[in-house]
Amino acid sequence: MGIGKYTDLSIYQDYFHTGMIEAIAQALTGFNEATLNTLTLTQQSRLGHYAYTSMFNRLATITNRRDISSVSAQTPTTLTNVDHITVKLNRKIKEIRMTEDAWKKQGKNPEEMVTALGVMAGKDRMQEYLNTSISALVGALSNQSSTNYVSVCATGAGTMTATNLNTGFRLYGDAASGIRFLVMHSKPYYDLVAQAISDKVYGEVGNVIYGAAPGTFGRPVLVTDSSDLVTTDGTNDAYYTLGLTEGAANLEESEDDSVLIERVGGLENITIRFQGEYAYNIGLKGFQWDVANGGINPSSVATGSLWDMIATSYKNLGGVVIKSL
C-alpha cells in the first residue's frame, strides 16, 4: 500500500506570502514615514487580548519660584502613573476552495491562485488597518467635543474651506504646530480646491490648477474615501477631517500569521483549500481602551466612549476632528 509523503504534495505558503508582502509594500502609503509617523504600523508579539504599558502622568508644572530667604520644608509632589492599554483585534482570511481542474482548464496552476490570493489579502489587510485607525481616531477625538472636535456644518456654508480648516487647528491653541498631517475624504479635499480657484487666492490658484495642491497650511494630506470619514443624518452626508499629531494611532501586528493551504481529496474533484488568521493591536495616543466596557476582540473600535482619556491635557492627544458638509 502506497503512502504519500510531503514530497508528493505542493506546498504553496511561500507563493501566498510573496503575493501578500508585495501588496503590503505597495500599500504602505497610509503609515509610518508616508504620514509623518502620525499613523504607525509596527510588529510586536503580544500575548492575551490587551497590551498594557505603564506611563507617568505629566505634572502640571515641575518648576516654580524658590524662596531664597526660607529654610522651611517643601511639600513633596507625588508622581502617579497610568496604563496605556491597546486592544487586540482578531481577523480571518476567508476560506477559499477551488478545484484544481478549474485552473488546469485555464492553462494556469494553483501557485498562481495562491499568489493572487496573497495580493488580495495584503491589499485588503492594509485597507482595513487604515480604516480601523480612522474609525478609532474619529470616535475617540470627537468624543472630547469642545477640545478636539468642531462641526462647521451649522456655520452658513458648512463645506470645507481654508477658514474652517483653520477653525479646527485653532482648537489646539499654541500647540497647533504639532498637527502635522491631514486625513480627509475627497469631498472636503476638492471643496478646498474649488475655494482656492473661486477666491483666486494669490499664489495658490496657480498651485491648484497646475500642481493640484490646495492650501492646507503646509500640512500634507492623505485623501481616502473611507466610509469611516462619512456620517449621515438619513438625508445629508457630512465628512470628518482628521488633523493628526505624531503617534496619533499605532497598529502592532501582534501575532504570527496562520495560513492553511492544502490539497483536499475524497471529493469528485481534487480541490485546493485556503484560509488564514492574524491579529493586531490598536492603540491611540493619550487614550486607553476601556477593558470593562469594551471587552475583548470588539466588533468595532469606533465608539468614542470606549476610549478613556489618560493624557493630562487635550494637547497631548492625537489631534483634532473637523466635521463639514
Q: Where are the domains of the chain?
A: 10-55+81-324
| pTM of the model as a whole | 0.84
pLDDT at 212: 47
pLDDT at 83: 84
Do the beta carbons of residue 325 and residue 230 sit within 8 Å?
Answer: no
- The per-residue pLDDT for 153 is 85
pLDDT of residue 180: 95
pLDDT, one tens digit for every residue, the chain (325 residues): 444 333 444 445 666 666 665 655 555 567 998 899 999 999 999 999 999 987 666 666 778 888 888 889 888 877 666 789 999 999 998 998 888 888 888 887 777 777 887 888 888 888 899 999 999 999 999 999 888 999 988 665 689 998 899 999 999 999 999 999 999 999 999 898 888 777 655 554 444 433 445 678 889 899 889 999 999 877 889 999 999 999 999 999 999 988 888 888 999 999 888 888 999 999 999 999 999 999 999 999 999 999 999 998 899 999 999 999 9
Predicted confidence at residue 24, as pLDDT, reads 58
Contacts of the segment 307-313: beta carbons below 8 A, 24+ positions apart: 307/136, 307/139, 307/140, 307/143, 309/144, 310/55, 310/57, 310/82, 310/83, 310/84, 310/286, 311/58, 311/285, 311/286, 311/287, 312/57, 312/58, 312/60, 313/58
